[in-house]
Amino acid sequence: MSRVSTYLNFPGTAEEAFTFYADLFGTSFVGPIVRFADMPGLEVAESERSLVMHAEVEILAGHVLMATDMLASLGHEWRVGNTTTIALEVESRDEVDRLYGALGGGSVEYQAPQVMGWGQYWATCLDRFGVRWMFSSD
């Protein structure tokens, strides 16, 4: 099933923010918090291993917020403009390719579609209007 959610990047405060949001909206985390230490083969600074690689919290009307902490050891830089992404979970790899092709054309900030370590076919880009998009399919 397709789903649209909002993906938020944090400078090491994702768990604190999402605990606050869950309390505020009277919900809980959707599934477990995945930490960078949980990703086999991913080498990050020891001080960053307990940070959030992925978390989800449902807020209103079924809308899901997702989050990650940005890691200095991987060259991530948290700044205005890269803190919010529209995440599209679609039915097929072909749909990921189609959307990525249409929105990412000419983008200088992108990750081309590929199978990731967590098993999804995934891509991201900044469109010509400055909006960040993320695409994934099982």
Give the domain CATH number at 35: 3.10.180.10
CA distance linking residue 20 with residue 29, whole number of Å: 11
Per-residue confidence (pLDDT) for residue 114, from 0 to 100: 96
Per-residue confidence (pLDDT) for residue 60, from 0 to 100: 85
pLDDT digits (tens, 9 = 90+) for 74-126: 888 888 778 899 999 999 999 999 999 999 887 878 899 999 988 999 999 98
CA distance linking residue 75 with residue 90, whole number of Å: 28
Domain membership of residue 79 as a residue range: 3-137
- Contact assessment for residue 90 and residue 12, using Cβ atoms and an 8 Å cutoff: no
Per-residue confidence (pLDDT) for residue 75, from 0 to 100: 86
CA distance linking residue 96 with residue 79, whole number of Å: 26
Question: Letter for the amino acid at 70?
Answer: M
- Contact assessment for residue 70 and residue 78, using Cβ atoms and an 8 Å cutoff: yes
pTM for the structure as a whole: 0.78
Work out how many domains the chain is built from and give that number. 1
pLDDT digits (tens, 9 = 90+) for 21-67: 999 999 999 999 999 999 888 888 899 999 999 999 999 888 999 99
Per-residue confidence (pLDDT) for residue 129, from 0 to 100: 76
Q: Residue 94 corresponds to which tokens in the numbers above?
A: 């072909």
Per-residue confidence (pLDDT) for residue 128, from 0 to 100: 82
